[in-house]
Amino acid sequence: MKKKMIYDSILNIIATSLPLIILQLIILPIIGTILGNSKYGLMVTLVSLTTLISLPLGNVLNNVRLLENENYQKNGLSGDFNVLLVNSIIINSILVIVGTLYYEDHPSFMNIILILGISCLSLVREYLIVSFRLSLNYKGILVNNIILGIGYLFGFLFFYMFGYWQLIYIVGTFFSLLYIIKKSNLLKEGFATTILFKKTSYKAVVLFSSTFMKTVLSYADKLILFPLLGPTAVSVYYSATVLSKLITRVITPVTSVMLSYLAKMQEFKMKHLVILMSLMTGIGIVGYFIIMAISEPMLYLLYPQWATESAQLISVTAATTVVDLISSIINPIILRFKNINWQLGISGSNLIITVLAVFIFYHLYGLLGFCIGMLISNIIKLIMMIFILLLNNGKVKKNESMIYE
């Protein structure tokens, strides 16, 4: 099982890397040059907005389905999740429209529709891809993400033809979604509810609240900077974090593989956690120096127009990435083996600490202080998560609240 998990993790990293490399290292730098500082900053902010809303909604349905699928099969039940999916799309649509109207001074009807399209397609894709995770079919995820990357390239051509950057994301996600729907039976379950609907909904709401707060901290940095310093500052900050964010998003799939396997386990020994933490810390330290070595030359290659300003932030943003990666490895273990309410506690307290740290250090040191505040909050979160795992004399057992009898 260990070899299979490592193999699947590698497959998932490759699968995630391909579309990200196409998007982050090829397409977006060209878009940045074409749009300029201000328009590109607005684009990054709106993409962050759609991700902030659609990712938690889709990811929660994905994880709850993964964790509870055994209960539905054991009881011979089918349903609930399509009802939750429709409700999620409605909530997503309302929030995205309101957010777009807030950030864009004079949004056209077409822009609103296109941004809404990005968000809704991403939400549905994020949920339905659980089909591959349920069967541990990471080759299917690899093929799907190759299609996603190809879709981004076609979307880039449409951008050149029609001038709407949103088409890059819409076409890419649409191509990917067509493949997933062809391979998945989840949408065929209909819109029936079962006796587990109430408990599943509760779990989804709790997990969404937690995931949303975590996603806020990952993407709302741009949303906060936009009204504070304007779109140009967003462009500078985004450029400074582009490599760190890329590495985070490439490594993060390991956590989804972990959760897929943890869902089938009954306990997790602390010695395994110590080994995992030691390994991740070592990788994190090496990764920090790699980021430091290649970020500046990459900045001047991809974003020469604001590279000098961005380079001043790299040492802090790289450290934040390393700490966040270690936390992301711990969280699936907490999610599987500890009470789900811990997710709310972690995310809620981290959100409060982040807001306080960011605003305090922002007023002291400006954009650099903003980055320092993010680093401090991430360190505190990591310490908190380790403490939670060490509760109950360090015994990490199956979370009984996950199972319905």
Query: Which range among 3-7, 22-26, 207-211, 342-346 shows the weakest confidence by mean pLDDT?
Result: 3-7
How far is Cα 139 from Cα 185, in angstroms, rounded to an integer?
18
Q: Is the pLDDT of residue 402 over 50?
A: no
List CB contacts of 88: < 8 A, sequence separation 6 or more: 57, 58, 61, 123, 127
User: How many secondary structure helices (H) and strands (E) does the chain include?
Assistant: 14, 0
Task: Supply the range of the domain harboring residue 366.
Answer: 2-402
Burial class (CB in 10 A: 0-12, 13-18, 19+), 278: exposed
Ramachandran bin of 345, using left for φ above 0, alpha for ψ from -120 to 50, beta for the remaining angles: alpha
Average pLDDT over residues 210-223: 68
Helix pair angle (314-337, 253-262), 10° resolution = 10
Question: Number of folded domains in the chain?
Answer: 1
pLDDT of residue 12: 67
pLDDT of residue 403: 32
- Residue whose tokens read 């998003």: 249
- Residue pLDDT, tens place only, 328-386: 777 777 767 777 678 778 878 888 888 899 889 888 888 788 889 889 988 999 898 88
pLDDT of residue 404: 29
281 pLDDT band (50/70/90 cuts)? confident
Average pLDDT over residues 24-34: 86
Average pLDDT over residues 228-243: 67
Average pLDDT over residues 75-100: 90
How far is Cα 206 from Cα 194, in angstroms, rounded to an integer?
19
pLDDT of residue 247: 66
How far is Cα 187 from Cα 206, in angstroms, rounded to an integer?
24
- List alpha helices for 129-137, DSSP H: 130-134
Does residue 221 contact residue 44 with C-beta atoms inside 8 Å?
no
pLDDT of residue 244: 65
Query: Which range among 31-35, 201-205, 246-250, 270-274 shows the weakest confidence by mean pLDDT?
Result: 246-250
pLDDT of residue 261: 59
Does residue 78 contact residue 10 with C-beta atoms inside 8 Å?
no
Mean predicted lDDT score pLDDT of the chain: 80
Q: Is the pLDDT of residue 394 over 50?
A: no
